[in-house]
Structure formats: structure tokens, C-alpha cells
Structure 1
């Protein structure tokens, strides 16, 4: 085939494709952005124990199944079926969101000498780690949906890498009202309850472990 004719045909094909590409980009750009939501840190009651016994704690990201290790908001719609809400997201991946709120909750308690994430390079006395076992809207009964949260926490002695305490913390909060705002409000109440429980437990467990070590 004549080279000039081949070039002309290719140019014509590109010209025909350009409107299609522009149309696809325009459709993507015109889609509404998802609503972004965050949650609140807890404010546990301060300790009446001696301030000199306060521990330094490094908070790791809690491990999570793939469906939860995301910024998507999860709904359990059946015994073996999980879905995501289409137009709503957390402001960060759920494990990172929970990690940062755990640090803030522990700081708010005034029970610890220092609290930080691993990235802050804090030399801690203890590490707080664990698993996110539930973090979803349970809509298996459509007439009474509820947010269910379960975190399994482990307090680890940093120097020895030994677990000094472990416990599961859970909350179930009914979703009152319709729409994503009611769902987020239930998440907010449930997570605050769980984080406050972990903060108090971590303080008491660290003090108990320190007392046992002092008696050796």
C-alpha cells in the first residue's frame, strides 16, 4: 500500500477516536465525588492512680480483612454477603482511621506518659496492636440495622516482645433514622465506646504488668 495512503487512513482513525475519548473523560469528571466521613475520638475518665506509673505506648495499625482494609463503608446484607455503600467513604482507610483515633483517645485520657503511632519513632514501654474483627453495618434484618464493631487488642511489652494482656472489645449501636448520616452517627458512638474501653484497659494492664515486674 502507498505509504501516503496508509498514513491518511491512520490519521482518519485517530480523528474518529478523539471524540470518544473526550466523551469518556467528560463522563468520569462529571460524576459526583463521594461523601467523605470521619469519626470522633473518645474521652475516657482520667485515672486516679499515681501519675509516675504512666506508660509510653506505641499504637500499631490493627490488622483487618481485605474488605475492611479500605476507605469503603461496609454493609453486611446477608449471612455470607458483604456490600459497600456506593457514594460514601471514610476519610482514610479504616485501620488507619482507627489507629489515629486510638492515639487521640489515649491522649485525651491523660493516663499515659506518651502515645504515638509507629511512624513517630517513639521508644515505648508497650505496643498496642490487634485485629479488627467487625466494622460494618449489620443489615441482615432490614427492619433494625445496627453498626457492629469488634476490636481484639493485645498489649505487648516492647523489650521482651511478650503479650502482657489481650481482650476483645465490642459495641452494637442501632442505626436510628435513614441515610448515610444516621449510619455514620452509629459508627461514631460505637467506636468511641470501644476506644475508651481499650484506653482504660491498656492503662490498667500496663500498671499491673509494671507492678509484677517490680516484684521480681
Structure 2
């Protein structure tokens, strides 16, 4: 008797569940385009670099504040509030995009063998790490801003830390001009870090 009551209740609930499924969408609409960073200084195809894993340079994924732990573009409205730029979505999170840009730029400008931590197999002794503090728009100045606190670690030597910053004017606070300005600023910071890492 108990079994038949439970079965009846489940059967009666089924149309409600099915109708709910018709009203609720679990998918998000894909953005019309995704933003990426493009390296101004890239490694030439066919160029080979050889070194032991211990001599390789590992560029780690930087830490980020919560506002950058997303694929959205933050706009700093004032000292205490931010918004996210409408219709602007990075293809990956800024930390990962910046790591890839740094790896490409440092390899191209220094000639160092740049590896991921996985490729280095735990044998690397030289690292660039740090924190990507700003990667968005300053609404007060209409500028794209990239700020990176880089840390240079070489086992057996003192650790060095330096802040790098670049700003570029933004013609309009819209996806395309902001992405272009951020790409320029990010490349500027990556080049500064490459010169420092050499």
C-alpha cells in the first residue's frame, strides 16, 4: 500500500517537473566574439632552443584578485566600485592569458628556454611568478590598465620583486577598443618583464 502511494505521488509530480524543464534554460547565450591577447614579440617558427630542465625558465600562472578571476573585463568606476564591460568576454581568464603572453614574449626576447611546470618535471630552478593586480579599464582616466607584481626566483639567489605597469588610452568604453588597448598595455608589461628577466 505504501509503495503504491509513493508511486502515485511520483507519477503526479512528473508533469510538473517536465513543465518546469520547458520554462528553465540551463544554457547561457554565447557571446558574439571572444577577446584574446596577441603577442607583439613571438617566437619564430622553426627556431629550436636547447637547455637542460634545470636551466629552463618557468613562468607560473599569476595570482589575481577576485575581480579578475573571471573572463569579464572590469571597469573601475571609482575607488570603491567596479562594473563589468557589456558584451566583452575573454577567451580564457586573464591570469592564463597573461601567462601565455609572458611565456611567448620572454622566450622571443631573451632566447631562454621557457617551459611549463609540467614540462620542467620539477627540475627547474628559475621561475617568474607574481600577481596580476589590474587588467581592466580606469573609467576616471579612460585608460586600459595592466599592473603586474612580478617575482623572480632563482634557487640559491635572493628573490626579487618588482611592479610593472602600463596604460593605454581607450577611445570608447566598448569591447573592441578596450580589448585593443588592453592588448597593447599587456604587451608593454610583458616586454618590461622580459627585459628584467634576462
TM-score, length basis structure 2: 0.81
Question: Structure 1 residue 156 and structure 2 residue 153: aligned?
Answer: yes
1:58 positional shift:
1.1
2:30 alignment partner in structure 1: 33
1:21 alignment partner in structure 2: 21
SS in 2 for 1:67: helix
Q: What do residues 7-37 of structure 1 show as CA deviations (whole Å, max 9, x unaligned)?
A: 4454233213312212213xx44x5312321
More helix by share: 1
1:196 alignment partner in structure 2: 191
Unaligned 5+ segments in structure 2 are 43-54
SS in 2 for 1:13: helix
Q: What do residues 85-119 of structure 1 show as CA deviations (whole Å, max 9, x unaligned)?
A: 3433211121111111100111221x233012222
For 1:33 and 1:70, how far apart are their aligned partners in 2?
Answer: 15
Q: CA RMSD in A?
A: 2.4
The total of aligned residue pairs comes to 184
Higher CA-based Rg: 1
Kept after mapping to 2: 8 A contact 1:99/1:117: no
For 1:166 and 1:42, how far apart are their aligned partners in 2?
Answer: 24
For 1:150 and 1:5, how far apart are their aligned partners in 2?
Answer: 64
Shift in CA distance, 60/178, structure 1 to aligned 2, threshold 3 Å: closer
1:62 alignment partner in structure 2: 62
2:45 alignment partner in structure 1: none
Q: How does 1:140-151 map to 2 (within 5 A)?
A: 141=140, 144-151=141-148
Kept after mapping to 2: 8 A contact 1:155/1:166: yes
Deviates more, 1:1-10 or 1:120-129: 1-10
Kept after mapping to 2: 8 A contact 1:147/1:183: yes
1:208 alignment partner in structure 2: none
Q: How does 1:201-212 map to 2 (within 5 A)?
A: 201-203=196-198
Kept after mapping to 1: 8 A contact 2:74/2:85: yes
Runs of 4+ in structure 1 deviating by more than 6 angstroms, as ranges, are none
Choose the corresponding residue for 1:176, options 171, 175, 179. 171
Kept after mapping to 2: 8 A contact 1:57/1:112: no
TM-score, length basis structure 1: 0.74
For 2:2 and 2:152, how far apart are their aligned partners in 1?
Answer: 76
